[in-house]
Amino acid sequence: MGLQEQKQHFSVNLLDWYMINRRDLPWRRHNNPYFTWVSEIMLQQTRVDTVIPYFNRFIGNFPTVQALAEAPEEDVLKNWEGLGYYSRARNLQAAARQVMELHGGEMPQDKPAVFALKGVGPYTAGAILSIAFNQPQPAVDGNVMRVLSRYFLIDEDIMKGSTRVLMEELAGELIPEGRARDFNQALMELGALVCTPKAPHCLTCPVMEQCSGRIAGRELTLPVKTKAKPPRPEQRLVAIVEGRGDHRGQVLVRQRPDTGLLARMWELPHVLAAPAAASKKAAPLADEPAMALLAGSLWAEGFAARPEGLATHAEHVFSHIVWSLQVYKCTEQDQSSELPLIAAEARAAYDAQAATREGTASLSAVSPESDITHSSEPGMPKAQNIATSLNEGEMLAPSDVSDLALSTPTLTGKGDGLTYRWIGPEDMDKMAFPNIFLKLIGSYFAGAFDQVKD
């Protein structure tokens, strides 16, 4: 069979398979360009099962481009909370405002206009144009490149731009006339369900008979892909500061800067303990110097707090960073108190870390985010381990998050200039937290850290 016949076999059999086996997904039930767009942004680096509840809630709260464009950013981030890669949410809202301003609220149908939207790359543009408008545009992502590499026995590195161009040209040639919408979704579906990365289900594949990779015994070695650099490990010390007096029943949180990693989201105060050697796991810091460093960092921001002991270990994985977290329960103290840990040695420990923190800040600020969180250090005495997996897709109950009139005023840190607040459990549904901090704070309010390691 020649190449042209092989292409025809692929297109015909793939479409026949898809029409019988396609999944019932909420964004496929309506031919709504906005729904297609939102779903494709959410599906970047995220599994379908995780996305479904987020998509339903997001569309329920922002049913139109106009609703998304006009919503407060805090509402958008809260609805994205736990999905990870939060720049996607900000870009999506910015692009919605572009659509309102430049296209009268209607999704544009020409490639240059779609491609010009914030956060839309070649794949997303092709997906929107083909799925929403049935235009014969290729939509090439990792799944598609894997399928095409195997079927056509392509040995080119899929991490290279030239290979992507090759794949886009090939995918475009495979689209049957008038069937772009179904074909591109069929190609994605095959990669997601059958032609999987590590264990392809060749015996159930609709195009197996003419798959050159399978015939050559190469299905497990394709596609060719340059290994990415391992994420940089960092050891961080986290403070759960328990309030006293007017702040009883509350904990101290802070808001991240307006730009960079997890921009404008809320978190527990934390400090970099020490950078780890490249490709090596960050080593835990002994409790005594760790608590001294943490107390000193809080003192530098204008907060007196006494670390009481280790609450838990946790780990949060970004695309290019791994945070190994030592979490300490702390107690608020009067600013005038004499705190043994906030002494000359604590300040010295803090100052010794300042240069290191500043040296890594710019790297951290540009690293893409993910929502992959894992537990670490099992079996800690009198402590719990916080864990989240990529496919959990946990959410809080839907609520009106536009009212950010929290129970306490904001405070400004003396050193970093960040915004701090004291919050109680009632404030949790009004603020957007990265998943790891959402879990840690939730565990604290649930009493999980009442007993800590002395």
Q: Which residue is listed with tokens 């107390």?
A: 295
Burial class (CB in 10 A: 0-12, 13-18, 19+), 33: buried
424 to 20, 246, 247, 443, 444: CA distances (angstroms): 51, 12, 9, 13, 11
**Angle between helix 3-21 and helix 180-193 axes, rounded to 10 deg:** 80
List the one residue out of 19, 422, 17, 390 whose CA is nearest residue 194.
Answer: 17
Burial string for 147-160 (b: 16+ CB within 10 Å, else e) reads bbbbbbbbeeebee
What are the catalytic residues?
A: 40
Q: Give every CB contact of residue 343 below 8 A, 6+ residues apart in sequence.
A: none
Q: Give every CB contact of residue 148 below 8 A, 6+ residues apart in sequence.
A: 154, 167, 170, 171
